[in-house]
Copies of this chain bind each other. A is one copy, B any other.
Amino acid sequence: MYEEVSRSIDDDLHSSVDALKKLVEIPTVAAKGEGIPETSELVERMLRDAGLETQIHPTSGAPVVTGWLDVGAKRTLLFYDHYDVQPAEPMDLWASPPFEPEVREGRLWGRGVADNKGDTTSRIQVIKAFKETGTDLPVNIKFVIEGEEEIGSPHLPEYTKKNKDFITADGGIWEFGGADIDGIQEAWLGLKGIYYVELEVERLSKNVHSSLACILPSAAYRLVWALSTLRDGNSRILIDGFYDGMKPLTKAEIKAIEKIDLHEADFKEIYAVDEYLNGLSGMELKKAYYGAPTCNICGITSGYQGRGSMTVLPAKASVKIDFRLIEGMHPDEIHRKLRRHLDSHGFNDIKIGYIEGYPPAKTPISHPFVKIVKAANRRVFGDLIIHPTSPGSGPLYLFNRYVPMVSVGCSDHLGNAHSPNESISLENFRRAQHRIVAIIDEMSRW
Q: Which residues of B contact A1 (CB under 8 A)?
A: none
Say how far A220's CB is from chain B's closest CB, in angstroms.
Answer: 4
Cβ-defined contact, A276 with B215, below 8 A:
yes
Stretch of A52-60, A221-229, A364-372 on the interface side = A221-229
User: Bound complex: CA of A338 vs CA of B309, how far in Å?
Assistant: 18
A296 at the B interface (CB under 8 A): yes
Chain A 71-102, CB within 8 Å of chain B: the 1/0 string? 00000000000000011011001000000000
Nearest CB in chain B: distance from A284 CB, A: 10
Asked if A340 lies at the interface with its beta carbon under 8 angstroms from chain B, I say no
Q: Tell me the complex Cα distance, A270–B206, Å.
A: 9
Q: Which of A220, A233, A297, A320 has the most CB of B within 10 A?
A: A297
Asked if A252 is at the interface of the complex by the 8 Å CB criterion, the answer is no
**A251 in the interface, Cβ–Cβ < 8 Å?**
no
The CA of A18 and the CA of B185, in the complex, are separated in Å by 71
Q: Are B299 and A207 in contact (CB under 8 A)?
A: no
Q: Count of chain A residues with Cβ under 8 Å from any Cβ of B?
A: 90
Q: How far is the CA of A142 from the CA of B231 in the complex (A)?
A: 57
**Segment from A167-175, A242-250, A390-398 that makes contact with B:** A390-398
A 274-301 to B, binary, CB cutoff 8 A, 1 in contact else 0: 0011001000010011001111111111
- Scoring A210, A227, A314 by chain B CB atoms within 10 A of each residue's CB, the highest score goes to A210
Using CB atoms and an 8 Å cutoff, list the residues of chain A in contact with chain B.
30-33, 86-87, 89-90, 93, 150-152, 192, 194, 196, 198, 203-218, 220-221, 224-225, 227-228, 231, 233, 235, 270-273, 276-277, 280, 285, 288-289, 292-314, 317, 320, 322, 324, 346, 355-356, 390-393, 416-420
| Subset of 29 A-B contacts with CB under 8 Å | A31-B306, A86-B312, A87-B304, A90-B207, A196-B309, A198-B309, A206-B420, A211-B390, A213-B322, A215-B280, A215-B289, A216-B277, A218-B296, A218-B297, A220-B299, A221-B227, A225-B228, A228-B228, A298-B309, A298-B310, A298-B311, A299-B303, A299-B314, A300-B303, A303-B320, A309-B355, A309-B356, A311-B392, A312-B418
